[in-house]
Chains A and B, each alone.
Chain A
């Protein structure tokens, strides 16, 4: 089991461009959550996908959108990139376990907007 995987590991874009980040959940997990983590800060919740639908959303603008595929993998899309979008983007997957849901994180995608 490869755990949660994310691609790419690093990405450099310029302002106004669009970006797509990808995540494959841990085997057996059905829920994918995306987080933005600025340098020196804790992760901020963007949104969560379950059964191919956005189940809940944090305080992020509509420029941030996502998708979940039938195999539970997910994409995060960010349009009209701003300098402030530079951050580590973390994907976490979770699945039902005894004692409550566990959440496992991927290694993250480092996005730099110039």
Chain B
């Protein structure tokens, strides 16, 4: 069964600190993995997308890693800001016909001053 798990479920950090969010998946055949940031009540916004051959991809203070062998991904946030407070959702795309996006439950990040 195609599944995406994320940890931790929630995280509280102080402004300026770094943090790492985890994503494990069992989606097959794998196509790509995307991290989204979702502010409360808003639509998810893409942060990074990674294909099978990519190990690391950065977008400003966000750095995503992918280990296709262990089927794990991480999202590292550097020098956190208050505006980073949001839910971070890992979505894995499968290479097959039809609905092929499997969503993780998300990690709720709160950055405190």
> What is A's interface to B at a CB cutoff of 8 Å?
4, 6, 33, 41-43, 45, 47-48, 55-56, 58, 88, 90, 92, 99-108, 110
Contact = CB atoms under 8 A, between A and B. Distances in A.
Contacts of B99: 33, 45, 47-48, 55-56, 58
Given A100-B31, A103-B34, A56 B98 contact: yes
Interface in B51-95: 51, 89, 91, 93, 95
A100 B99 CA distance: 13
Nearest to B31: A100
Given A48-B98, A99-B49, A105 B44 contact: yes
Interface of B: 31-32, 34, 36, 41-46, 49, 51, 89, 91, 93, 95, 97-101, 103-106
A41 B106 CA distance: 8
B36 A105 contact: yes
A56 B97 CA distance: 9
B98 A102 contact: no
20 contacts: A6-B43, A42-B89, A42-B104, A42-B105, A43-B89, A43-B103, A45-B101, A45-B103, A56-B99, A90-B43, A99-B51, A100-B93, A101-B31, A102-B34, A103-B91, A104-B46, A105-B36, A106-B43, A107-B42, A107-B43
Contacts of B106: 42
Contacts of B46: 102, 104
Q: 7 tightest CB-CB pairs across the interface, nearest first?
A: A100-B31, A56-B98, A105-B43, A56-B99, A99-B51, A100-B32, A107-B43
A43 B44 CA distance: 10
A106 B41 CA distance: 12
A89 to B, nearest CB: 10
A101 B99 CA distance: 11
B21 to A, nearest CB: 14
